[in-house]
Each structure stands twice: as structure tokens, then as C-alpha cells.
Amino acid sequence: MTPESPGRTRREVALGLAAIWPFGRRKLEIADTRLRVVARGRSGWRFLHIHGDESTARTVLEQAAPAGVSFFVESERREVPIAGGSIDPNRLFSHAGADRSLRRRNRQWSEAQFINAGLHLDHQRPKLLDALLPRDGGVLIALHNNGMGYSIETEIPLSQKVSFKDPARPGDFMLATSARDFALMETSPFNCVLQSSAPPPDDGSLSRQCALQGKRYVNIEARSGGQEIQRAMLDWLIAHLPPQQEF
């Protein structure tokens, strides 16, 4: 039964949503901005739109409205603000990665500013990871867009396995951290790679954290404007990855 089912009281609906989203809040802090949380129905799926300038990915996730918990960054830009500077929100999931991203983007900062921003992120990170990372049996899917200069060919040297079925579309591909998920994904018509280990350097990305923690994670990359193929990859994953444990 879904939360929208007729006959359920408001309290029952609230309890149902609490079961899939036990954190209470509808917003999560990420650096000095927030992630909007949208919980729909009972499911082990989690979905993330983390780069605000990747509008194709945002539209795909909003229109697909899959059952599960979706997170949308409240920004139109790629970087998010922090302490008067900025950071890539997909580079702050480890201390080392965050420090590297802060130093690259805020060259005018003093050493004390780097240390203070790093401490702030260290304090924030456990809550953020606890909310974003799927429970056992669940999967986190992140949707990204890219332009020329980044493609599956960038990731192939870093990957343990590769399925390159559509060489005409190297910018459209999926990246998995679970070998079992990859074994299914390589039966799809889409390009995909497996990155189940996390060799140095530590870039602070969410995919690296998921590989380190043994979490099931899939990144769906599509060229900007490639709404149709990104939606097709999302629909394929929801239809074909193993059934999720409900929680």
C-alpha cells in the first residue's frame, strides 16, 4: 500500500513516510546549502541530484518521480557555498577530498580558513552520509550530466570491468560499485563500468565512499540535454536490478 492509498489516515501516512525517511527533516545541510528531500512510497531506492547546473538530470528525476527517497540540491550552480567560498558538493564526502576541493577553489583563503571549513564539513559529514547511503539491500542512484571532455573513456582506466556497447555515445553511461549489479547492467544496451575498489587519490566523491563502505551505488551519466537516454537508463535500473528490501 502506498502513502497515497485511499482510506489511510493522516497519521498512518505520516508513519509510513517515517518508515522510509526516519530522519524527520525535509531538508539536509550540505556545506552552506541544502538538499531537498522527497519521500515517495516504501522502497529501498535512493536518488540524488547533486550538481545544481545539471538541469537535465534534475528534470529526469523530477519527472520519473520513482518510489523511494530523492534528494535535490537547492542550487542552480555546480559548486555550493561554504564560509564565503565554494566547494564541489561531490568532493566533500571525505576529509582529504574536501580539503583538496577547498584548496583548488578558494586560493585566496588563509590556512585557518581551510582548517575551519574542513572542521565544519567533518562535523556535517556523518549526518549527511547516514541520510544518503542506502541501508542494506538498498541502492543509491546519482544522476549527472556532462559535456565534451568527459566520457566513459575517462573512467575506463579507473574501472575493473567495462561494457562499451554504444561507442557512438561515450558520454552516456552508468557506473556501478557492486560487481553483482554490474553483471546485470552489462546485459543492458547501455555503456557501463564497474568501480568496486577505491584506489588513491581520495577524491571525496560519493561513488568512492560507497565503494569503500560496500554500498550499492550507480551513477547515471548523460550528455547535457540527453533527457531521453538518461530516463531510459533510470527506468532500466529500476526494472532490472534485484528487488529491494523495504524499510
CB of 161 to Zn ion, least distance (A): 22
Outline where the chain has alpha helix (H).
10-20, 55-64, 95-105, 111-132, 152-155, 179-185, 206-213, 227-240
Considering only 80-88, 139-147, 155-163, 180-188, which stretch makes contact with Zn ion by CB under 5 A?
A: 139-147
100 is an interface residue for Zn ion by CB under 5 A: no
Give least dist CB 216 to Zn ion, A.
19
- Residues near Zn ion (CB under 5 A), total: 2
Query: Which run of H or of E encompasses 84?
Result: none
DSSP 3-state of 231: helix
| Min separation Cβ 94 and Zn ion, Å | 17
Backbone angles phi, psi at 129, to 5 degrees: -65, -40
Q: How far apart are the C-alpha atoms of 121 and 58, rounded to whole Å? A: 25
Instruction: Determine the interface stretch with Zn ion among 101-109, 138-146, 197-205, 224-232 (rule: CB under 5 A).
Output: 138-146
Q: In whole angstroms, how close is the CB of 13 to Zn ion at the nearest point?
A: 33
Question: Which of 40, 100, 144, 223 touches Zn ion by CB under 5 A?
Answer: 144
Contacts of 96-99 spanning 24+ positions with Cβ under 8 A: 96/201, 96/202, 96/204, 97/202, 97/203, 97/204, 97/205, 97/208, 98/204
Neighbours of 238 (CB within 10 A): 18
Q: Quick one: 32 or 53, whose CB is closer to Zn ion?
A: 53
CB of 144 to Zn ion, least distance (A): 3
Stretch that binds Zn ion, among 142-150, 190-198, 209-217, 238-246 (CB under 5 A): 142-150
Which span (14-22, 50-58, 121-129, 183-191) binds Zn ion, by CB under 5 A? 50-58
Minimal distance, residue 56 CB to Zn ion, in Å: 11
Spatial distance between the Cα atoms of 38 and 56, rounded to a whole number of angstroms: 18
- Only one of the segments 49-57, 162-170, 193-201, 202-210 lies at the binding site for Zn ion (rule: CB under 5 A); that segment is 49-57
* Residue 58 is a binding residue for Zn ion (CB under 5 A): no
Beta-carbon contacts of residue 159 (< 8 Å; ≥ 6 apart): 175, 193, 194, 195
Q: Is the peptide bond before 200 cis (omega within 30 degrees of 0)?
A: no
Q: Is 51 among the residues that bind Zn ion (CB under 5 A)?
A: yes
Chain contacts with Zn ion (rule: CB under 5 A): 51, 144
